[in-house]
Chain A
Amino acid sequence: MSTFDVHRYRAEFPNLKINVHGKPLVYLDNAATTLKPRCMIDAVNAYYVTGVSNVHRGVHFLSEQATAAFEYSRQVVRQFVHARRVEEIIFTKGATEALNLLAQSYGRHFLKKGDEIIISYMEHHSNIVPWQMLCQQIGCVLKIIPMNDQGELIFDEYLKLLSEKTKIVSIVWVSNSLGTVNPVKALIDAAHQKRAIAIIDASQAVTHTAINVQELDCDFLVFSGHKVLGPTGVGVLYGKEKLLEAMPPYQGGGDMIKSVTFSGTTYNALPYKFEAGTPPIAEVIGLRSALEFLQTISWENMKAYKEDLLEYGTKKLLSIEGVRIIGTAKDKTSILSFVVEGIHPHDLGTLVDQEGVAIRTGHHCTQPVMEFFKIPATARASMALYNTKEELDTLVKAINKAKEVFNA
């Protein structure tokens, strides 16, 4: 692991220096949101201190500067996901909004009664509910790819669900509650064989692996900025240009129009057609900085480092009596969902918090997954590039302490 200097990276995350209840923070809730590197915070700060302006609508110096910074960020995102054209990058307020946009703009326009949409058992609620709403609106049908006890999608069952009726396949790349990495390329190719479009929710994948939308050949891909070291309130929708062109706008307002009269409105070109109103300018600029920071690190080294953390954490957790890990897929990211016999996840969360350890407890917005494993909730430790084995040791000690309190 000599190629990955974790302490060098840790130094870039000021939030790591705080104490919680008098103990050094151990932040293991990265699947909910990641901590932020100093360069990202500085970029947002600089916009607010010396660069405030609206974009795309002023001739003054600050407005031109903000517009240039905003549009340069789009270039950086294009390059980050390897999109063909910058017009294919739409800024949203998050992955959730991007998925709602797709359901309402693409889905409502191109689907009709009886058409089918396929999602998987392990989707985040944000990739379930927008499709359920669409089904209620137009009478299309939602189909669910089942999973096995390890928390892996059953590919043969997916192939059986696909038919001429399938119009959309919308799948999570990496499960936020199980850590499973889904075989997205194969899922996309199979969807295309039936002429369905493929949408990828890359919210957890963005910190796991390099993204190349052209190689994947996905039709759309979404992620949130705050899960990739960026600010909250900004997300990305990538879409193939010809599909985005054919879609009607999602929201109306300023910036998305070419001209407005009371007899009618003509819409702006891509990507602005989908960016009604003042966009999250500071957040877009911050996202750029976060992605640039991430790109200074070798994916290969980071992946190897996090795999090592996952292996270590898994071994350590399983050494505690009564711990059961939920989600044991062969291909997995550094997300450890688990339950401890005799302690409800919520109690565990509060007790390890006393030791300064931040984990997530609950259903992680994936209630069907909880129901599948017949548990109300899990505790989840999710690791980022700045976490260490020592921090996992602290987690294990905190769990053992909780067990003492509960005599579990």
Chain B
Amino acid sequence: MRDELYQQTILEHNRNPRNFKKLEGATHVSEGYNPLCGDHLWVYVKVDANGIIEEAAFEGSGCAISKASASMMTAALKGKSVDEAKVLFNEFHQLVIGELKPDEQPNHLGKLTVFSGIWQYPARVKCASLSWHTMHGALEKAKTISTE
């Protein structure tokens, strides 16, 4: 039996996504697109002079998994340094492909571990990781990120 994919936290973030807006004054912006399912979003990050993420936001359309993932990501990024954000990106990536077991390995994922079962739904892994790849691309200054 696979883990339940649609946990309450995910459903709740899908219904009421946090930071779901265009962020004025963003220092980093990137567009993410998954041609397979049509998920399409923009991620905005505002980094201050000390390299700390003041705010992150997203807009666009997608399934519940991609929306909830983006919503939780923007909440998690606030107050992190750019380097910390990159560490989190790597950990999240490992988590959704089933390489990181949050109960066994130290990590900084916190609430994001709600996605720990998604590796059992291979077709949906990209839904969860799209916003993260897009955020990473924004920090690296790439323009359009595709998970294809």
A344 pairs with B62, CB closer than 8 A: yes
A406 pairs with B124, CB closer than 8 A: no
A350 pairs with B37, CB closer than 8 A: no
A375, closest chain B residue (CB): B38
A402, closest chain B residue (CB): B6
Contact partners of B37 in chain A: CB under 8 A: 345-346, 361-363, 376-377
A1-35 with Cβ < 8 A to chain B: 21
A376 pairs with B11, CB closer than 8 A: no
Q: CA–CA, A92 to B60, complex, Å?
A: 40
Contact of B65 among A347, A362, A376, A405 (CB under 8 A): A347
Min CB gap A125→B, angstroms: 11
Contact of A405 among B11, B39, B61, B62 (CB under 8 A): B11
Contact with A along B62-73 (1 / 0, CB 8 A): 111100000000
**Interface size bucket, A side?**
10 to 19
Give the one of A344, A376, A405 with max B CB within 10 A.
Answer: A344
A362 pairs with B36, CB closer than 8 A: yes
A350 pairs with B38, CB closer than 8 A: no
B40, closest chain A residue (CB): A376
B38 pairs with A362, CB closer than 8 A: yes
Contact with B along A364-397 (1 / 0, CB 8 A): 0001001000001100000000000000000000
A233-287 with Cβ < 8 A to chain B: none
Q: CA–CA, A180 to B77, complex, Å?
A: 47
B6 pairs with A405, CB closer than 8 A: yes
A350 pairs with B124, CB closer than 8 A: yes
**Interface size bucket, B side?**
20 to 34
A351 touches B (CB below 8 Å): yes
Contact partners of A345 in chain B: CB under 8 A: 37, 63
A376 pairs with B6, CB closer than 8 A: no
Min CB gap A49→B, angstroms: 33
Q: CA–CA, A350 to B64, complex, Å?
A: 11
A376 pairs with B5, CB closer than 8 A: no
B2-18 with Cβ < 8 A to chain A: 2, 5-6, 11, 14-15
Give the one of B40, B62, B63, B121 with max A CB within 10 A.
Answer: B63
Give the one of B2, B6, B15, B38 with max A CB within 10 A.
Answer: B38
B127 touches A (CB below 8 Å): yes
A350 pairs with B62, CB closer than 8 A: no
B5 pairs with A350, CB closer than 8 A: yes
Min CB gap A407→B, angstroms: 8
Contact partners of B2 in chain A: CB under 8 A: 21
A346 pairs with B6, CB closer than 8 A: no
A343, closest chain B residue (CB): B64
A344 pairs with B64, CB closer than 8 A: yes
A363 pairs with B38, CB closer than 8 A: yes
B123, closest chain A residue (CB): A350
Contact partners of A362 in chain B: CB under 8 A: 36-38
Contact of A346 among B15, B40, B127 (CB under 8 A): B127
Contact partners of A363 in chain B: CB under 8 A: 37-38
B124 pairs with A346, CB closer than 8 A: yes
B38 pairs with A376, CB closer than 8 A: yes
Min CB gap B1→A, angstroms: 8
Q: CA–CA, A361 to B123, complex, Å?
A: 11
A361, closest chain B residue (CB): B37
With contacts A362-B38, A376-B62 known, what are 19 further pairs, Cβ within 8 A?
A345-B63, A346-B37, A346-B39, A347-B63, A347-B64, A350-B5, A350-B121, A350-B123, A351-B6, A361-B37, A362-B36, A363-B37, A376-B38, A376-B39, A376-B40, A405-B11, A406-B11, A406-B64, A407-B15
* The 3 A-B residue pairs with the shortest CB-CB distance in the complex, in nearest-first order: A376-B38, A344-B63, A346-B63
Q: Can you list 7 residue pairs at the A/B interface with Cβ under 8 Å?
A: A345-B37, A347-B63, A370-B38, A376-B62, A377-B37, A377-B38, A406-B11
Please report B residues at the A interface, Cβ cutoff 8 Å.
2, 5-6, 11, 14-15, 36-40, 61-65, 121, 123-124, 127
Please report A residues at the B interface, Cβ cutoff 8 Å.
21, 343-347, 350-351, 361-363, 367, 370, 376-377, 405-407
